[in-house]
Amino acid sequence: MPKKKDDRIAMRPNLRYMLGNWRKWDGKSFWVIAACIPAQIALPALTALIPKLMLDAINGAWAPGKLIALVAVLSSLIAFLSWIEPNLSEKLRVSAQLARMNYRILALRKIMRIDYETLESLEGREKLEKAKDFCFGGRWSGGEDFYDAVRQFLASGIGLLTFAGLLTQLNPLLLLIIIIGCVAEVGANIIGNRFMHKMRKDSNQAFMRIEYMYRSTKEAEKGKDVRLYNMRPWFLRIMQSAVDVHNKVLGKFVRQLIGGAVSLRTIATLAREAAAYFFLVRAVLAGDITPADFLFFFGIVTGFSAWLMTVTRQYGNIERCYRECQRFRDYMDLPDCTQGGSLPCLGQGHDGLKTIEFRNVSFTYKGSDEPVLHNVSFTINKGEKIAIVGENGAGKTTLIKLLCGFYPPTEGQILVNGVDIREYDRESYYKLFGAVFQDFTFLPVTVAQNVTITEKGAEDTARLEESLRKAGLLDKMRALPDGLESPMVKDVWERAVNFSGGERQRLLLARALYKDAPVLILDEPTAALDPIAENRLYQQYAEFSHDKTSFFISHRIASTRFCGRIFYMANAHIAEEGTHEELLALQGAYYKMFETQSYYYRKNTVGEDE
């Protein structure tokens, strides 16, 4: 059965984990629970008791003064209980919410520190997706709901025992019938949950598609293609068929639920109530209890079944919560990127880096059998300028990712200053690199903070301005309404500035320059630049990189002119290597690529024959 896998999740360690965290974050909540439970039990008991007491008073023909006293005591008791219960519940609600907040923060921290390869892998993404239920699903997330479930479970459990104790005074057969009725109800609940589970599973994909279609139609970026290719009929059809599937699944679910679970539950209720009336009336007629007691016990019977229902429902909730918790912890237990070596890598000083060496490095993505890099070897000395060119998919970006330590080589070693990079402490190793990657994100903070990645006040203003100036942005940024303090990311700040593609790329460059790391890596920095801006970048490249070791990846072969050494990559390895002139003289693949790209730039060629 597929359910088996879930069943193996152990309950105890997860309960211990969640309760341990609660004690750490908000320990006094345990006292709040302890205070809350008696109130929760006393309220229904008192509600059942009041009519009996009043009837006793009337039947006993009490003096009015005594009656007034009784009424005063009872109403203040009710007031007290109905004040204390919601009050404490509210405290617990806040505390549970706080716990979820803490879990979310733990998750956020983890995502930032997890080993990059795992983060990027399908497995890692799936695990994250599963872990999210525990703290990103709103109020019903396990990380929040657990604490309420525990409280309700305890309260109803104790309530159940108390009420059962009261009922034992009566016919034990009554207790038995009530329990059987409740078991049937529990069974109905289980059936209902199974239907629900199946319905969720069956309708989930349709629901995903409906939401996706909705998102796709409202986003302006997607709107151009949608209109020019007249995708409207296509979209409407996809959406309609998803809606049809969704509604069909739901319709079936409701029919099943009413036919199965609801009917069963109704029969159980009927049996329970009939038994309660029957036995209690019999008991009065037999003279075992007074008519006033009839009222009291009737209230207790009703209360008892309510407790039993709550106990089973909350047990189910606790089960769900600890399963979610296990998945959360599975993610939290994934290896961190800091779990590298312990050797501190060079600090911020440039003198530290001497050599970078790839020794027979091969790399294959998990779950694939084709290597992306195959037996790559080279040594680079401090200050060398490397250009990496080659076809799409030849392994250029993967090489950079390996160099940055994002992936470990499948075979071979990467050495910095003769030491395998696995020996270095990962966070200090990252200090080696200032990089502009192809995909990028900006933080919803100010322009200055996006460049410096430090809090306001901690930045080096001179260096910040110098970096922006080098990237050709300083004047533009200063001219913004809030200057360098202008916020970024429109989704978060309404006042945020929108930058063009070229400006964004230059901002990324400024960030890399501000970091002033010994190794500068630029991955396709010119793709969005016009010829003049591209030319300017080439001209300035020498200035950016004069005291650095640098890597420049580009589809534009012109970029190689400024690099002392060129790696031409093809079929997962470095096929050709040398200076521009050397490689041209070789008349190999690089030569062919250069010729292809320069073909149309030559004076006397006419572009019709190809």
Partner 1 sequence: MKKLIANIRLFWRGMRVTFKTAPAALLTVLNQPINAISPFVNIYFSSLILEQLTGKAAFEQILPNILWAVGLNSILYFITNSLGASNQQAWRRVYVEEHQSVAKAMLVLDYETLEDTETQKKSADLLNHWHHKGSPLNGPLFDLSNLLGGVFTCVMAIIFIKPLLGIIFKKTGDGFLNSPWLGISVCAFIAAGVGFVLFMSNRMSKRWFKLHERYLELEGIFHYYANMLEDHKSGKEVRIYAQHDLIEHHATDKLMHEGVALQRKLGSAQSLSSATLAIIGAILGFGVYLLIGVKGLFGFIGVGAVVRCMGSFLQVVNGLMQIGSNVGRLDAFIPGLRYFFDVVDLMPKHTGGNQSINPDGEIDIEFRDVSFKYPGQEDYALRHVSFHLQGGKHLAIVGENGSGKTTFIKLLCRLYDPMEGEILLNGVNIREYDEDSYRRLFGVVFQDYQLFALPLGENIAAGKDVDEERILLCLDESGFGLRLEKMPDGLGTWLYRECDKDGVEVSGGEAQKLALARALYKDAPVIVLDEPTAALDPLAEAAVYAGFNRFAEGKAAIYISHRLSSCRFCETVAVFEAGELVQYGGHEDLIVNEDGKYYELWNAQAKYYV
Site for partner 1 in 148-167 (CB under 8 A): none
Which among 405, 494, 404, 506 has a CA at the least distance from the CA of 450? 506
CB-based contact 466:477 (threshold 8 Å) = no
Told to check if 266 binds partner 1 by CB under 8 A, we report: yes
Told to check if 12 binds partner 1 by CB under 8 A, we report: no
CB of 503 to partner 1, least distance (A): 8
Q: Which of 155, 167, 239, 376 binds partner 1 (CB under 8 A)?
A: 239
Phi/psi of residue 376, nearest 5 degrees: -95, 125
DSSP H or E segment with residue 426: helix 426-430
Q: Which of 11, 34, 108, 161 binds partner 1 (CB under 8 A)?
A: 108
For partner 1, the closer of residues 35 and 257 by Cβ is: 257
Told to check if 477 binds partner 1 by CB under 8 A, we report: no
For partner 1, the closer of residues 359 and 597 by Cβ is: 597
Told to check if 518 binds partner 1 by CB under 8 A, we report: no
Q: How far apart are CA 120 and CA 118, in angstroms?
A: 5
CB of 374 to partner 1, least distance (A): 19
Q: How far apart are CA 88 and CA 55, in angstroms?
A: 33
Told to check if 49 binds partner 1 by CB under 8 A, we report: no
Q: Which of 11, 94, 176, 190 binds partner 1 (CB under 8 A)?
A: 94
Residue with tokens 């600890």: 322
Q: How far apart are CA 499 and CA 511, in angstroms?
A: 15
Site for partner 1 in 199-218 (CB under 8 A): 203, 205, 207-214, 216-218
For partner 1, the closer of residues 486 and 597 by Cβ is: 597
DSSP H or E segment with residue 424: none
Phi/psi of residue 575, nearest 5 degrees: -80, -40
DSSP secondary structure code for residue 496 in this structure: P
Q: Which of 561, 571, 582, 587 binds partner 1 (CB under 8 A)?
A: 561
> Residue 309: how many CA atoms within 13 Å on its side-chain side?
14
Site size for partner 1 (CB under 8 A): 176
Told to check if 291 binds partner 1 by CB under 8 A, we report: yes
For residue 281 the two structure tokens come to 């009336």
Which range in 4-12, 93-101, 345-353, 475-483 contacts partner 1 by CB under 8 A? 93-101
For partner 1, the closer of residues 45 and 489 by Cβ is: 489
Told to check if 379 binds partner 1 by CB under 8 A, we report: no
Told to check if 594 binds partner 1 by CB under 8 A, we report: yes
Told to check if 140 binds partner 1 by CB under 8 A, we report: no
For partner 1, the closer of residues 217 and 355 by Cβ is: 217
Q: How far apart are CA 73 and CA 71, in angstroms?
A: 5
For partner 1, the closer of residues 357 and 534 by Cβ is: 534
Told to check if 440 binds partner 1 by CB under 8 A, we report: yes
Q: Where are the beta strands (DSSP E) in 276-390?
A: 355-363, 373-381, 385-390
Q: Which of 404, 448, 507, 510 binds partner 1 (CB under 8 A)?
A: 404
Told to check if 587 binds partner 1 by CB under 8 A, we report: no
Told to check if 374 binds partner 1 by CB under 8 A, we report: no
Q: How many CB atoms lie within 10 A of CB 330?
A: 13
587: helix, strand or coil = coil
For residue 359 the two structure tokens come to 């020794």
Told to check if 45 binds partner 1 by CB under 8 A, we report: no
Q: How far apart are CA 300 and CA 159, in angstroms?
A: 10
| DSSP character string of 382-423 | TT-EEEEEE-TTSSHHHHHHHHTTSS--SEEEEEETTEEGGG
CB-based contact 441:361 (threshold 8 Å) = no
Told to check if 80 binds partner 1 by CB under 8 A, we report: yes
Residue type, 598: S
For partner 1, the closer of residues 12 and 64 by Cβ is: 64
Told to check if 285 binds partner 1 by CB under 8 A, we report: yes
Output Rg (C-alpha) for the chain, integer angstroms: 35
For partner 1, the closer of residues 174 and 322 by Cβ is: 174
For partner 1, the closer of residues 74 and 180 by Cβ is: 74
CB of 23 to partner 1, least distance (A): 18
Q: Mark residues 446-475: x for contact with partner 1 by CB under 8 A, - for none.
A: ---x---xxx--------------------
Helix axes 172-218, 220-228, angle to 10 degrees: 70
For residue 561 the two structure tokens come to 């002119």
Told to check if 226 binds partner 1 by CB under 8 A, we report: yes
Q: How far apart are CA 247 and CA 253, in angstroms?
A: 10
**Beta pairing class for 385-390 and 565-570:** parallel
Q: Which of 4, 5, 8, 602 binds partner 1 (CB under 8 A)?
A: 602
Told to check if 348 binds partner 1 by CB under 8 A, we report: no
